[in-house]
Amino acid sequence: MYFRKSIIAITGLFLCLFLIVHLSANSILVLPQEVARGLYNSYSTTLRESPFIKIVAYILYLSIVLHVIYALVVTVNNRKAKRKGYAVNRFRENSSWTSQNMGLLGITVLLFIVVHLANFWARIKLGLGEGVGLDSEGHVDVYKVTYSLFQNSYYVLFYSLLMIPLGLHLYHGLKSAFMTLGFYHKKGLRILAKVSLIYAGIMALGFGIIPIIVFFK
Ligand code: HEM
């Protein structure tokens, strides 16, 4: 059980790091169009062509897969144990709504990621669906793909609203990951809870506001 929870914690922390980089890159989208387009397209071309980033991308995909599989296994096992009457919720902190529903929140985030990858990754990286053009510099026009998607109010709602479950999942997930890996210092746990709240808040608000700003640009 500890091995499975450690895998969830390590892959989860790696995904948290990815989100910081991803949000920083996506904040280019809120700049005026003349600046944002060139910057976003050249940045994303540089990333796609870098051999180092290609390796990191494979580690990222593997992390998502392992995180989902092990989280499902642990959730199912916890449910079974609960049905048999074993005490799985020993800590007061563990009985919050968020911690009780990490599986549900995780599945909602997974649904978001599947739609998101179909919107961008499948088109840009796999060349599936509607073709993607080039900008005046000859870079793949990722900015246009993003801009067009966020002209659709349903997608704006989808992307913005689903940042609420993402935020809740990240808040509890970040705290739990450090605890699983042995972080139990009493004063440190209070700081960890605050840091997790700030991190999750920045991620949810940051990713949630970008589609709205792009929509009204
Ligand atoms: C405003 C919100 C977001 C925007 C505009 C956005 C934009 C993009 C774009 C354009 C790509 C393709 C990059 C490329 O191949 O050049 C991408 C990939 C990706 N995004 Fe997002 N993203 C957003 C939020 C998120 C969130 C919240 C998550 C996770 C919960 C996420 C996870 C991913 C993943 C896993 C990839 C694949 C990365 C890769 O292949 O290297 N994104 N995103």
pLDDT digits (tens, 9 = 90+) for 32-88: 999 999 999 999 999 999 999 999 999 999 999 999 999 999 999 988 887 877 655
144 lines ligand 1 (CB under 6 A): no
Which whole number is the average pLDDT over 208-214?
A: 98
pTM: 0.93
**Fold exhibited by the domain 2-84+95-215:** 3 helical TM bundles of succinate and fumarate reductases (1.20.1300)
Share of the chain above pLDDT 70, in %: 95
CA distance 164 to 178: 22
- For a substitution probing ligand 1, which of 54, 58, 116 has the most ligand atoms within 8 Å of its CB? 116
36 C-alpha vs ligand 1 centroid, how far in Å?
A: 16
207 lines ligand 1 (CB under 6 A): yes
Nearest CA to ligand 1 atom 8: 120
State the amino acid at position 30 in one-letter form.
Answer: V
pLDDT digits (tens, 9 = 90+) for 20-34: 999 999 999 999 999
Q: Output DSSP code: residue 118.
A: I
194 C-alpha vs ligand 1 centroid, how far in Å?
A: 26
Other beta carbons within 10 angstroms of residue 193's beta carbon come to: 15
Selection from 161, 157, 171, 159 nearest residue 97 by Cα: 171
**Mapping DSSP to helix (H, G, I), strand (E, B) and coil, where does residue 101 land?**
coil
Nearest CA to ligand 1 atom 24: 207
pLDDT digits (tens, 9 = 90+) for 77-123: 988 887 877 655 554 445 688 888 899 999 999 999 999 999 999 99
Given a cut of 80, is residue 1 above it in pLDDT?
A: no
Residue given tokens 């944002």 in the structure block = 36
The DSSP H or E segment spanning 7 is: helix 2-26
CA distance 109 to 103: 10
Nearest CA to ligand 1 atom 39: 57
- Residue 162 near residue 108, CB atoms below 8 Å: yes
116 C-alpha vs ligand 1 centroid, how far in Å?
A: 7
